[in-house]
């Protein structure tokens, strides 16, 4: 039985119509850059949480399991809500929900700055997660609307903003929060205010696009010709690859500083600079995957980015300090190229459900990262931080699942 996706040929509510509205004038780079910058501001604020874990550990006498639970709380609130938000906005787009999401993150930061108990830390983490769940599906939709048909490029630009924000968070924490203490997190509420202003303008463009009469593009309506069973199986494989990627990244982003301090005896600030270098490599790698996928196909990019990183992850636990830094850069560059390719591949499998797919995959990525942080935290408590990195080294083996994915490039070209 073939997948049949029914989609209106005109009207303001359909994803295809939104794509057409954007592509009539080509790629709208102003909006792409605006959403990328907003993504950077959003993820910068989110990345403050793991960046200040050493401070919270000392202040609240936390063990690794409790630290992992904070990450799990943030990731779960983000991951469970995102598909629901995406499904809802596929039916009823809400342009001005973007600044609302940023406002909820602002509340979370304020609570984090003045948290006096572990329970309040969890509430703060939950607020940051809710803000993320509101932001990502709609912002990803706007990026696709403004893509002009260059979907991989648009997702890469959108993603790279978030990655740079994630990379900047630990660096700013090292030089602002570490020397001034927990309450200095309040300075970052100014970032949220700037993000709200920027997203209000993006929402205005989005609202105007929704009022434009359009005709759906053939490529947005086209099905791949795959059976329903094959499509569902392919989505499950993609989710498995997301698990591999984000479980590993959770280990790096949450415990990399602890690993460096434990194994090499570096200071907190030095460890956070190393974390910044790794996350910067992730940001740089993100921009590559989408445009290359537009040219050579998503499947090829997924092959290289997941399985291709395996030799480097296996070598990392046995490297010295300098080699650890070099290997982490290579790992970040290669592994980061996967997400944009995976997301656009999934959107091609199930056309007309941009918000749902974005919410599902962003949410699943956050959920796996949160689960990874909690599980790996418990593993570190039971064994050691070194064992965590040795176990994580084998996760890219799951990249062999890419072999089972169909090639959607040719069917879509024919359609």
pLDDT tens, position by position, 370-391? 788 778 888 998 999 999 999 9
CA distance 29 to 46: 25
More confident residue, 312 or 89: 312
pLDDT at 62: 86
pLDDT digit string, tens, across residues 221-265: 445 567 888 888 999 999 999 898 888 988 888 889 999 999 999
pLDDT of 125 reads 92
Which tens digits make up the pLDDT trace of 32-64? 999 999 999 998 998 888 778 888 888 888 888
Q: What is the mean pLDDT of residues 320-331?
A: 94
Query: Mean pLDDT, the chain, as a whole number?
Result: 81
Going by CATH, does the domain composed of 15-414 fall within 3.90.180.10? no
Compare 217 and 198 and report the one with higher pLDDT: 198
C-alpha–C-alpha distance, residues 154 and 32, integer Å: 7
Is the predicted pLDDT of residue 17 greater than 50, yes or no? no
Q: How high is the pLDDT of residue 218?
A: 41
Q: What is the pLDDT of residue 323?
A: 95
Residue 223 φ then ψ, to 5°: -90, 165
Per-residue b or e along 184-217, where b marks 16 or more CB atoms closer than 10 Å to that residue's CB: ebeebbebbeebbebbeebbebbeebbeeebebb
Among the ranges given (224-228, 271-275, 303-307), the one the predictor scored with the smallest mean pLDDT: 224-228
Whose CA is closest to 357, among 35, 140, 135, 91? 140
């Amino acid at each position: 039985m073939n997948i049949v996706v029914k989609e209106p040929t005109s009207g303001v509510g359909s994803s295809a119509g939104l794509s057409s509205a954007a592509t009539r004038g080509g790629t709208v780079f102003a909006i792409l850059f605006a959403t990328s910058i907003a993504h950077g501001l959003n993820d910068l604020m989110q990345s403050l949480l793991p960046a200040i874990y050493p401070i919270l550990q000392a202040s609240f006498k936390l063990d690794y399991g409790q630290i992992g639970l904070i990450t799990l709380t943030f990731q779960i609130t983000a991951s469970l809500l995102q598909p629901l938000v995406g499904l809802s906005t596929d039916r009823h787009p809400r342009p001005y929900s973007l600044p609302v999401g940023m406002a909820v993150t602002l509340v979370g930061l304020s609570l984090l700055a003045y948290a006096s108990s572990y329970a309040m830390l969890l509430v703060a983490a939950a607020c940051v997660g809710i803000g993320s769940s509101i932001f990502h599906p709609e912002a990803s939709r706007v990026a696709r609307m403004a893509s002009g048909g260059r979907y991989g490029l648009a997702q890469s630009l959108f993603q790279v903003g978030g990655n740079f924000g994630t990379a900047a968070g630990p660096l700013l924490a090292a030089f602002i929060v570490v020397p001034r203490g927990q309450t200095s997190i309040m300075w970052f509420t100014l970032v949220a205010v700037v993000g709200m202003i920027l997203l209000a303008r993006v929402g205005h463009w989005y609202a105007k696009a929704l009022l434009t009469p359009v005709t759906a593009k053939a490529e947005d309506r086209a099905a791949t010709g795959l059976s329903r069973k094959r499509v569902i199986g392919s989505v499950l494989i993609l989710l498995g690859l997301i698990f591999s990627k984000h479980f590993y990244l959770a280990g790096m982003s949450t415990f990399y500083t602890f690993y460096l301090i434990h194994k090499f005896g570096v200071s907190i600030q030095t460890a956070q600079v190393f974390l910044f270098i790794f996350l910067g490599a992730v940001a740089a790698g993100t921009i590559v995957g989408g445009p290359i996928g537009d040219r050579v196909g998503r499947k090829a990019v997924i092959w290289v980015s997941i399985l291709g990183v395996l030799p480097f992850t296996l070598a990392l636990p046995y490297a010295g300090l300098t080699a650890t830094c070099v290997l982490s850069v290579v790992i970040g560059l290669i592994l980061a190229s996967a997400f944009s390719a995976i997301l656009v591949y999934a959107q091609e499998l199930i056309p007309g459900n941009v918000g749902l797919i974005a919410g599902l995959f962003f949410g699943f990525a956050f959920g796996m990262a949160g689960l990874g942080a909690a599980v790996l935290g418990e593993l570190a408590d039971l064994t050691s931080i070194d064992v965590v990195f040795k176990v994580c080294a084998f996760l890219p083996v799951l990249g062999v699942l890419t072999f089972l994915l169909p090639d959607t490039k040719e069917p879509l070209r024919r359609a």
